[in-house]
Amino acid sequence: MSKIVVVGSYVVDLMSRTPHLPKPGETVLGGPFKMGPGGKGGNQVTAAARCGSDVTFVTKLGDDLFGREALKHFITENVNTQFIKIDPGQATGAALIAVDDRSENSIVVSLGACGTITEADVLEAEEEIKEADIVLLQLETSIEAVVSSIKLACDNGIPIILNPAPFQKFPEDILYNVHYITPNETEAFELSGVEVTDEGTALAAARKIHEMGVGTVIITMGSKGAFLYNGKEKGELVPGFKVEAVDTTGAGDAFNGGFAFGLSKGLPVRDAMIFGQAVAALSVTKIGTAPAMPYEHEIKDFLALKGIRAV
């Protein structure tokens, strides 16, 4: 059984289609409007759970309508909600999302309750973390939560995936305890100072990030694929799958959830990446974030059509 613990963010997604992303001061008539579960942590939890993982989520919600709907969602997805705490002094996080006719998006996130996760909150889930195959983290929460999760997982020999998104400053010495880091091109630039535009610049950025202490660097590059570097080789751009994208919001989260699942099932890193890319490809063919995450049978059917055996 795949057992994954995700410590991170939940925000409700408030999404509208728009002919084009608004310029400063511009009002654009859009629609339709959709509301649904989201946040990088919530999306990754949903992706991993639909792949077939036993997922525990450590996060915080407000005592409000959005929080109650979030709990319903995770119960429906068979997620362990024991460590989802309700903070009556905070609102549930929210993301304002605009998606244009080219499927590009613009997002403003208000973290609310999930931005106040403390070390004490993480420690409450210590036994779950000790028994996990993988601990999956993002930067869409308090840095205290990230640092304490890495320390706890490291002390117990549990592999860690850090998705450094959305990028914010953090103590870089924690990277020596991170097994896998999964930035996109923008986050890779923030970490390395190298602008990632192609395979060559991805290698240069990945080398610098690897030198910061991370075991394996995976730079997600959208439709180009994902660049793999572990310090021993020149690296490799692992191609993604070509699909007709409807909404690219949440694709990175889909990849991370699928990648975590693949690793937890014992797949080699490259094969786990391919599995994650299949999850991401299927997610962008639907509108939304968490609701767009594919189910296990959809992923297996998709990979079978490509001649790839799923886990």
Which residues are tagged catalytic?
253
* Positions at the binding site for K(+): 247, 249, 283, 286, 288
Which residues neighbour 12 within 8 Å (Cβ) at sequence distance 6 or greater? 35, 36, 37, 38, 39, 66, 69, 70, 92, 93, 94, 95
Strands 226-229 and 236-238: antiparallel
Closest CA to 45 of 32, 54, 33, 35: 54
DSSP-assigned letter for residue 55: E
* Positions at the binding site for substrate: 11-13, 39-43, 140, 253
**Token duo for residue 111:** 């973290």
Give yes or no for a contact between 77 and 4, defined as CB atoms under 8 angstroms apart. Answer: no
For helices 296-305 and 40-51, the axis angle rounded to 10 degrees is 70
* Positions at the binding site for ATP: 184, 220-225, 252-253
Conformation bin of residue 235: beta by default, left when phi > 0, alpha when psi is -120 to 50 = left
H/E stretch holding 263: helix 251-264
Closest CA to 148 of 179, 181, 171, 114: 171
